[in-house]
Amino acid sequence: MTDGSEPAAAPLLEARGVKKYFGAITALNGVSFHIAPGEALGVVGDNGAGKSTLMKVLSGLYTPSEGELYFAGSPVKFHSPRDARKMGIEMVYQDFALAGNMPIYENIYLGREPGRKFAGLTIIDRDLARRMAAEHLDKLKIHVKSIDQNVEELSGGQRQAVAIARATAFDAKVVIMDEPTAALAIKEVGKVLDLIKSLKAHGVAVIVISHRMDDIFYCCDRVMALYQGANFADAPLKDTNRNEVIGWIMGTKGHTQSFAHDRVQH
Protein backbone atom coordinates (compact mmCIF):
# COMPACT_ATOMS: atom_id res chain seq x y z
CA MET A 1 0.00 0.00 0.00
CA THR A 2 2.95 2.34 0.75
CA ASP A 3 3.84 2.63 -2.91
CA GLY A 4 0.40 1.89 -4.20
CA SER A 5 -0.22 5.28 -5.69
CA GLU A 6 1.66 6.82 -8.57
CA PRO A 7 1.70 10.63 -8.70
CA ALA A 8 -0.89 11.97 -11.08
CA ALA A 9 1.66 14.30 -12.68
CA ALA A 10 5.36 15.07 -12.25
CA PRO A 11 5.81 16.06 -8.61
CA LEU A 12 6.02 19.77 -7.88
CA LEU A 13 7.57 19.33 -4.45
CA GLU A 14 9.31 16.18 -3.43
CA ALA A 15 11.30 14.99 -0.40
CA ARG A 16 13.53 11.91 -0.47
CA GLY A 17 14.82 10.09 2.57
CA VAL A 18 14.45 13.05 4.92
CA LYS A 19 15.81 12.54 8.44
CA LYS A 20 15.63 15.05 11.23
CA TYR A 21 17.25 14.66 14.62
CA PHE A 22 16.82 16.83 17.68
CA GLY A 23 19.70 15.77 19.86
CA ALA A 24 19.09 12.12 20.66
CA ILE A 25 15.53 12.21 19.36
CA THR A 26 14.78 11.12 15.81
CA ALA A 27 11.71 13.05 14.66
CA LEU A 28 11.85 11.94 11.03
CA ASN A 29 13.50 8.71 9.96
CA GLY A 30 13.89 8.65 6.17
CA VAL A 31 10.55 10.10 5.10
CA SER A 32 9.67 10.48 1.43
CA PHE A 33 7.01 12.81 0.16
CA HIS A 34 5.62 14.17 -3.09
CA ILE A 35 2.81 16.37 -4.30
CA ALA A 36 1.67 17.46 -7.76
CA PRO A 37 0.24 20.81 -8.93
CA GLY A 38 -3.49 21.09 -8.23
CA GLU A 39 -3.38 18.11 -5.91
CA ALA A 40 -4.80 18.18 -2.39
CA LEU A 41 -2.97 15.82 -0.08
CA GLY A 42 -4.16 14.88 3.38
CA VAL A 43 -1.40 14.09 5.86
CA VAL A 44 -2.42 12.07 8.90
CA GLY A 45 -0.63 10.55 11.84
CA ASP A 46 -0.81 10.45 15.60
CA ASN A 47 0.74 13.14 17.80
CA GLY A 48 4.51 12.80 17.49
CA ALA A 49 4.30 10.89 14.21
CA GLY A 50 6.38 13.60 12.52
CA LYS A 51 3.71 15.51 10.55
CA SER A 52 4.63 18.93 11.93
CA THR A 53 8.35 18.30 11.65
CA LEU A 54 7.95 17.26 8.02
CA MET A 55 5.91 20.39 7.26
CA LYS A 56 8.51 22.58 8.95
CA VAL A 57 11.18 20.98 6.78
CA LEU A 58 9.09 21.58 3.65
CA SER A 59 8.42 25.21 4.60
CA GLY A 60 12.06 25.98 5.41
CA LEU A 61 11.70 26.44 9.16
CA TYR A 62 13.89 23.38 9.81
CA THR A 63 16.75 22.16 7.66
CA PRO A 64 16.77 18.36 7.29
CA SER A 65 19.61 16.48 9.01
CA GLU A 66 19.75 14.14 6.00
CA GLY A 67 17.89 13.74 2.73
CA GLU A 68 17.02 16.04 -0.18
CA LEU A 69 14.23 18.32 -1.28
CA TYR A 70 13.31 18.79 -4.94
CA PHE A 71 11.20 21.56 -6.36
CA ALA A 72 9.90 21.09 -9.89
CA GLY A 73 12.51 18.40 -10.39
CA SER A 74 15.61 20.32 -9.24
CA PRO A 75 17.24 19.95 -5.82
CA VAL A 76 16.68 22.86 -3.42
CA LYS A 77 17.94 23.84 0.03
CA PHE A 78 15.90 26.12 2.29
CA HIS A 79 17.74 28.04 5.00
CA SER A 80 14.70 29.94 6.21
CA PRO A 81 10.98 30.24 5.50
CA ARG A 82 11.98 33.14 3.29
CA ASP A 83 13.77 30.77 0.87
CA ALA A 84 10.76 28.48 0.70
CA ARG A 85 8.44 31.42 0.15
CA LYS A 86 10.54 32.56 -2.79
CA MET A 87 9.76 29.21 -4.43
CA GLY A 88 6.07 29.70 -3.71
CA ILE A 89 5.80 27.36 -0.75
CA GLU A 90 3.58 28.87 1.91
CA MET A 91 2.46 27.64 5.29
CA VAL A 92 -0.78 28.38 7.11
CA TYR A 93 -0.28 27.79 10.81
CA GLN A 94 -2.74 26.25 13.20
CA ASP A 95 -2.70 29.41 15.29
CA PHE A 96 -2.91 31.44 12.03
CA ALA A 97 0.34 33.32 12.87
CA LEU A 98 -1.26 36.71 12.37
CA ALA A 99 -0.39 39.92 14.19
CA GLY A 100 -3.66 40.75 15.95
CA ASN A 101 -2.62 44.33 16.55
CA MET A 102 -2.43 45.07 12.83
CA PRO A 103 -5.04 45.49 10.11
CA ILE A 104 -5.98 42.75 7.67
CA TYR A 105 -4.22 44.25 4.69
CA GLU A 106 -0.96 44.67 6.59
CA ASN A 107 -1.05 41.06 7.71
CA ILE A 108 -1.50 39.90 4.15
CA TYR A 109 1.63 41.75 3.01
CA LEU A 110 3.65 41.39 6.22
CA GLY A 111 7.29 40.88 5.27
CA ARG A 112 6.56 41.61 1.59
CA GLU A 113 5.23 45.14 1.68
CA PRO A 114 4.88 46.84 -1.70
CA GLY A 115 6.58 50.21 -1.99
CA ARG A 116 9.67 52.15 -2.92
CA LYS A 117 13.07 51.08 -1.63
CA PHE A 118 14.96 53.92 -0.05
CA ALA A 119 18.25 53.61 1.87
CA GLY A 120 17.59 50.00 2.82
CA LEU A 121 14.03 50.70 3.95
CA THR A 122 10.84 50.10 2.02
CA ILE A 123 8.56 53.09 2.16
CA ILE A 124 5.23 51.34 2.00
CA ASP A 125 2.73 52.24 -0.70
CA ARG A 126 -0.29 51.87 1.52
CA ASP A 127 -2.85 52.60 -1.17
CA LEU A 128 -1.37 49.93 -3.39
CA ALA A 129 -1.24 47.41 -0.52
CA ARG A 130 -4.87 48.14 0.33
CA ARG A 131 -6.03 47.84 -3.25
CA MET A 132 -4.11 44.63 -3.83
CA ALA A 133 -5.43 43.15 -0.60
CA ALA A 134 -9.02 44.00 -1.49
CA GLU A 135 -8.69 42.50 -4.94
CA HIS A 136 -7.07 39.35 -3.64
CA LEU A 137 -9.75 38.83 -0.98
CA ASP A 138 -12.38 39.33 -3.68
CA LYS A 139 -10.75 36.72 -5.88
CA LEU A 140 -10.88 34.21 -3.01
CA LYS A 141 -14.46 35.30 -2.25
CA ILE A 142 -13.50 36.26 1.31
CA HIS A 143 -15.72 38.94 2.74
CA VAL A 144 -14.65 41.23 5.59
CA LYS A 145 -16.14 44.44 6.92
CA SER A 146 -13.03 46.42 6.07
CA ILE A 147 -9.46 45.59 5.21
CA ASP A 148 -8.44 48.18 7.81
CA GLN A 149 -9.99 46.12 10.59
CA ASN A 150 -7.49 44.78 13.10
CA VAL A 151 -7.16 41.00 12.93
CA GLU A 152 -7.88 40.67 16.66
CA GLU A 153 -11.44 41.82 15.96
CA LEU A 154 -12.11 38.89 13.58
CA SER A 155 -13.68 35.50 14.25
CA GLY A 156 -11.62 32.31 13.99
CA GLY A 157 -12.93 31.54 10.50
CA GLN A 158 -12.21 35.05 9.27
CA ARG A 159 -8.70 34.84 10.68
CA GLN A 160 -8.16 31.54 8.92
CA ALA A 161 -9.37 33.15 5.70
CA VAL A 162 -6.91 36.03 6.17
CA ALA A 163 -4.13 33.53 6.85
CA ILE A 164 -4.99 31.68 3.63
CA ALA A 165 -5.19 34.96 1.75
CA ARG A 166 -1.73 35.84 3.01
CA ALA A 167 -0.39 32.43 1.98
CA THR A 168 -1.73 32.84 -1.55
CA ALA A 169 -1.13 36.55 -2.04
CA PHE A 170 2.04 36.03 -4.09
CA ASP A 171 1.43 33.33 -6.63
CA ALA A 172 1.74 30.41 -4.23
CA LYS A 173 2.52 27.00 -5.75
CA VAL A 174 2.24 24.90 -2.60
CA VAL A 175 0.18 25.77 0.48
CA ILE A 176 0.70 23.76 3.64
CA MET A 177 -2.19 23.94 6.10
CA ASP A 178 -1.67 22.77 9.65
CA GLU A 179 -4.97 21.72 11.22
CA PRO A 180 -6.93 24.35 9.27
CA THR A 181 -10.22 23.67 11.02
CA ALA A 182 -9.13 22.83 14.56
CA ALA A 183 -9.63 26.35 15.92
CA LEU A 184 -12.88 27.09 14.10
CA ALA A 185 -16.52 27.16 15.05
CA ILE A 186 -18.42 24.38 13.27
CA LYS A 187 -20.35 26.73 11.00
CA GLU A 188 -17.07 28.21 9.72
CA VAL A 189 -15.46 24.88 8.82
CA GLY A 190 -17.33 24.46 5.53
CA LYS A 191 -16.25 27.87 4.25
CA VAL A 192 -12.59 27.14 4.91
CA LEU A 193 -12.80 23.72 3.21
CA ASP A 194 -14.43 25.31 0.17
CA LEU A 195 -11.59 27.80 0.11
CA ILE A 196 -9.15 24.88 -0.03
CA LYS A 197 -11.06 23.43 -2.96
CA SER A 198 -10.94 26.72 -4.78
CA LEU A 199 -7.15 26.93 -4.29
CA LYS A 200 -6.91 23.50 -5.83
CA ALA A 201 -8.99 24.65 -8.73
CA HIS A 202 -6.47 27.49 -9.25
CA GLY A 203 -3.74 24.84 -9.65
CA VAL A 204 -2.24 25.22 -6.21
CA ALA A 205 -0.91 22.11 -4.49
CA VAL A 206 -2.47 21.95 -1.02
CA ILE A 207 -1.21 19.89 1.87
CA VAL A 208 -3.75 19.48 4.66
CA ILE A 209 -2.68 18.16 8.03
CA SER A 210 -5.75 17.19 9.94
CA HIS A 211 -7.12 14.91 12.60
CA ARG A 212 -10.59 15.24 11.16
CA MET A 213 -11.47 12.57 8.63
CA ASP A 214 -14.39 14.70 7.44
CA ASP A 215 -12.04 17.45 6.33
CA ILE A 216 -9.74 15.08 4.49
CA PHE A 217 -12.48 13.15 2.80
CA TYR A 218 -14.23 16.39 1.77
CA CYS A 219 -11.39 18.20 0.06
CA CYS A 220 -8.41 15.90 -0.57
CA ASP A 221 -7.41 13.67 -3.49
CA ARG A 222 -4.89 11.51 -1.69
CA VAL A 223 -3.97 10.70 1.88
CA MET A 224 -0.60 9.84 3.35
CA ALA A 225 0.03 8.47 6.83
CA LEU A 226 3.13 8.84 8.99
CA TYR A 227 3.81 6.57 11.93
CA GLN A 228 6.66 7.06 14.39
CA GLY A 229 8.62 9.31 12.06
CA ALA A 230 8.37 7.12 8.95
CA ASN A 231 6.08 6.65 5.93
CA PHE A 232 3.35 4.21 6.82
CA ALA A 233 0.77 4.34 4.04
CA ASP A 234 -0.20 6.40 1.02
CA ALA A 235 -3.30 6.01 -1.17
CA PRO A 236 -5.77 7.91 -3.37
CA LEU A 237 -8.91 8.61 -1.37
CA LYS A 238 -11.02 6.62 -3.78
CA ASP A 239 -9.06 3.49 -2.85
CA THR A 240 -9.51 3.74 0.88
CA ASN A 241 -12.02 4.63 3.57
CA ARG A 242 -12.18 6.37 6.90
CA ASN A 243 -11.74 3.30 9.00
CA GLU A 244 -8.66 2.23 7.15
CA VAL A 245 -7.11 5.68 7.52
CA ILE A 246 -7.91 5.74 11.23
CA GLY A 247 -6.21 2.37 11.46
CA TRP A 248 -3.10 3.85 9.79
CA ILE A 249 -2.97 6.64 12.35
CA MET A 250 -2.85 3.97 15.06
CA GLY A 251 -0.25 1.95 13.18
CA THR A 252 -2.45 -0.94 11.95
CA LYS A 253 -3.08 -1.97 8.37
CA GLY A 254 -5.96 -3.73 6.70
CA HIS A 255 -8.40 -2.43 9.26
CA THR A 256 -11.91 -2.74 7.96
CA GLN A 257 -14.09 -3.18 10.96
CA SER A 258 -16.19 -0.21 11.80
CA PHE A 259 -15.50 2.06 14.74
CA ALA A 260 -17.81 3.25 17.41
CA HIS A 261 -18.05 6.81 16.07
CA ASP A 262 -18.85 5.48 12.61
CA ARG A 263 -21.82 3.59 13.88
CA VAL A 264 -23.11 6.67 15.57
CA GLN A 265 -22.92 8.62 12.34
CA HIS A 266 -24.77 6.10 10.17
The footprint of other proteins (CB under 8 A) covers 61, 80-82, 85, 91, 93, 95-102, 106-107, 110-113, 115, 121-124, 126, 166
- From the number of C-beta atoms within 10 Å of its C-beta (0-12, 13-18, 19+), residue 247 rates as buried
- CA–CA distances in Å: residue 185 to residues 155, 189, 196: 9, 7, 17
How far apart (Å, rounded) are the C-alpha atoms in residues 120 and 106? 20
How far apart (Å, rounded) are the C-alpha atoms in residues 17 and 224? 15
CB 81 to other proteins: min, Å:
6
Of residues 60 and 157, the one with the C-beta less far from other proteins: 60
How far apart (Å, rounded) are the C-alpha atoms in residues 42 and 98? 24
CB 152 to other proteins: min, Å:
8
CB 98 to other proteins: min, Å:
5
| Cβ–Cβ under 8 Å, residues 122 and 116 | yes
- CA–CA distances in Å: residue 57 to residues 32, 63, 65, 152: 12, 6, 10, 29
CB 185 to other proteins: min, Å:
18
CB 20 to other proteins: min, Å:
18
Of residues 123 and 185, the one with the C-beta less far from other proteins: 123
Of residues 98 and 132, the one with the C-beta less far from other proteins: 98
CB 201 to other proteins: min, Å:
26
Give the 3-state secondary structure of residue 102: coil
- CA–CA distances in Å: residue 173 to residues 36, 40, 166: 10, 12, 13
Of residues 126 and 255, the one with the C-beta less far from other proteins: 126
Of residues 162 and 223, the one with the C-beta less far from other proteins: 162
Of residues 64 and 103, the one with the C-beta less far from other proteins: 103
Considering only CA atoms, which of 77, 79, 90 is closest in space to residue 15? 77
Radius of gyration of the chain (CA): 19
